[in-house]
Every structure is written in C-alpha cells, then in structure tokens.
Amino acid sequence: MHASRRLQAITTTVFAVAVAMAPWMGSTMLAAEPGSGTGTEADPIVVRAFDLGFEPTKIEVAAAGPVTLAMPNEGAIQHDITFAGGETTGPVDPAATGTVTVDVPAAGLDFWCAIPGHKEAGMVGHVSVAGAPQPTPDAGGDQGGPGAVLPDPDPNAPAYTLFPAEAPALLPGEVHDYALVIQEKTVTVAPGYVIATWTFNGTVPGPTIRVKVGDTIRVHLVNPASNQLAHSVDFHASQVAWNDEMTSINPGEEKIYEWQADYAGVWMYHCGTAPALHHIANGMTAWSSWSPRTACRRSTASSPWSRASGTSAVRGCPPA
Ligand SMILES: [Cu+2]
C-alpha cells in the first residue's frame, strides 16, 4: 500500500487546515488524501496525478449529477483530467492543483489525461454512480477489429524531403557550444501525409553531432514558450547525473547539458520526458558520435554504425 496511508491521520489534519486557509483556486497544492471528498465544489473528490497515473482510478459517487474533482499534480511534468465532453482541468503544473466539474450520468464517465501520450501510458480513470451497472470490460482489445484506414493524401501538403543519411563532418575545435531548439511542428512524412511531430532543431531524426574523443560538448537546450509540452534530452554517450542535466524543462525554459566525450562510438540521444517512448516515437531522437583522436584499426564488426541497442559503442573506426 502507498506509504502515505500510514500518515492518513496527519494528512487529514493538514487537509482540514488547508481547506480552511486556501480555497480551491487551481494553483495551490493541498495535502489531501487521494479519494477523499464528497464531490461538491466545496469538498471535491481528490484524484492525485503522478508520472504517469492517477490515484484512485475508480471513483464512485452516490448519485448522478454534477461532481467536482480536484487534481493535485505530484508529478514532475504537467497533467490534466479531461472528460469526453471536453470538461477539463486544463494543464496543471507540477505542485499545483486543478479542478473540474462534470455532469455524471447514471452510466458513469471515463476520464483521462489529455497531454499527448499520457492516456496511452495509463492515465485513465472512471467515475461510476453507486448502484448503477458497471461497464462491460472490453473483451476484444484491438484484435479482430476493423483495420486502420489510410486517409487520402492531401494534395496541398508541403513537399516531402528525404533526410540525408550521411555522417556530418567533425565539428571543429575542442569545446562545442551546440544549440538544440525543441520545435513542435508538422512534418510531411510521405508525399501528401503530414503529421504533428516534436523535434530537435526541426528535423526527424534530429541532427547528428560528431566530435572527437576528449572534446567538451555544451548543449544549449531550448524549449520555446510557443511549445505546448515539457521536453528534455538524454545523451547516452554522457556520464552525468540524470536528475540534473536530464530533467524536463517547460515551455519558455532552457538549460545547459555539458559533458566530455570520453569514448569513441555512436550513441542515441533522445527526449526522456515521460512517457519517453511517446516523445521518441514522435520524433525526438537522433545520434551522436565521438571519433577517436588517433588512427584506429578496423575491427571485424560488420556494422561500425551499429544501432542494434541504441547504446553500443563502435568497435571499429568511424566512417571515412
Ligand atoms: Cu519531448
């Protein structure tokens, strides 16, 4: 059980004081027990959000009608509670609390986090009405359902351009100030087909960074205020504290991620903001390579640019 259960008596007291001192203004974190509350505006039901889930995920109310939920965000990135009718807390910052009121029918309602990828990562829940029949579990999943239908190509889509697969030239010098600007933008991925992507410097994959062993790389990561989401970067080549350089930054923020290239090789770098696989699949991945300083002997490895694991070092020489 969650450790906070043992502190229920204490947190209930804190909650009572907090309610007395701070109304539900949507910006104040209240120390309330998940699941507590009756659902009125004055006493909302508390649904705690974390990275990546809700607690509780199943809520039962006494009767159909308006219900207010309060969502303290205890995660490191924004979350929300959204219902199918569009009722939503809106994006709630870490350490803040959002509220939403929804008219719950007798059949109940699902809710989820509408931040891209969070629903798929498990941020879903359900409000049911006491005594009402429970929804039938989905027995079939995606198996046996109708196949995906490819939409018609858009004749007005911007032109499709191939990403150059060549390794770039070595960056000159020994200390490299490198700007990585996160751009949430549409990209034409095939003639006539445009998708919304998240990118490093506007391309999918992002730019390949190529330097020599021993060089210092000082990445200036920028998340412009015009973006919607928190993002981050994680260089598998680096040996840094994950809770320092690799932390997420919100729109309007920037940070410096500095390290030394200690080993020759080719490594993935990617956005590590939760859910990381969603950020990677949406375009935020690329490669960095560190070339040996001196002449090297080619190994018997068949593919020096091995991408099998995304983290393996090149055992031979870098491409000429
Ligand atoms: Cu990202």
Tokens coding 231: 């993002």
CA 280 to centroid of ligand 1, rounded, Å = 7
In tens, the pLDDT along 62-120 reads: 999 999 999 999 998 899 999 999 999 999 999 999 999 999 999 999 999 999 888 98
Structural domain contains residue 136? no
Q: Write the single-letter amino acid at 250.
A: N
Structural domain contains residue 134? no
CA 223 to centroid of ligand 1, rounded, Å = 9
CA 10 to centroid of ligand 1, rounded, Å = 37
CA 255 to centroid of ligand 1, rounded, Å = 14
Containing structural domain, residue 120: 3-129
CA 188 to centroid of ligand 1, rounded, Å = 19
Same domain assignment for residues 173 and 105: no
Same domain assignment for residues 209 and 261: yes
Instruction: Check residue 163 and give its pLDDT.
Output: 79
CA 199 to centroid of ligand 1, rounded, Å = 8
Q: Which of 201-210, 244-253, 286-295 has the least mean pLDDT?
A: 286-295
Structural domain contains residue 107? yes
CA 39 to centroid of ligand 1, rounded, Å = 34
Instruction: Check residue 27 and give its pLDDT.
Output: 42
CA 118 to centroid of ligand 1, rounded, Å = 12
CA 17 to centroid of ligand 1, rounded, Å = 38
Nearest to 164 by CA among 4, 287, 29: 287
Same domain assignment for residues 112 and 10: yes
Structural domain contains residue 232? yes
Is residue 125 within 8 Å of residue 56, measured between CB atoms? yes
CA 304 to centroid of ligand 1, rounded, Å = 28
CA 231 to centroid of ligand 1, rounded, Å = 4
CA distance 90 to 111: 13
CA 266 to centroid of ligand 1, rounded, Å = 21
Same domain assignment for residues 46 and 187: no
Reported residue count of the chain is 320
CA distance 289 to 305: 9
Instruction: Work out whether strand 124-129 and strand 109-112 pair parallel, antiparallel, or are unpaired.
Output: antiparallel
Same domain assignment for residues 86 and 210: no
CA 282 to centroid of ligand 1, rounded, Å = 8
Same domain assignment for residues 181 and 93: no
In tens, the pLDDT along 19-50 reads: 333 444 444 445 678 989 999 999 999 999 99
CATH code, domain with 13: 2.60.40.420
Q: Write the single-letter amino acid at 203.
A: T
Same domain assignment for residues 157 and 48: no
Structural domain contains residue 139? no
CA 300 to centroid of ligand 1, rounded, Å = 37
Same domain assignment for residues 7 and 123: yes
Calculate the average pLDDT of the chain: 81
- Rounded to 5 degrees, what angle do the CA atoms 88, 93, 95 make? 115
In tens, the pLDDT along 127-177 reads: 999 987 765 555 444 444 456 677 899 999 999 988 778 888 999 999 999
CA 234 to centroid of ligand 1, rounded, Å = 10
Same domain assignment for residues 274 and 308: yes
Residue 126 has, within 13 A of its CA and on its CB side, a CA count of: 11
Query: In which element (H, E) is residue 220 found?
Result: strand 216-223
CA 21 to centroid of ligand 1, rounded, Å = 37
Same domain assignment for residues 105 and 187: no
CA 224 to centroid of ligand 1, rounded, Å = 12
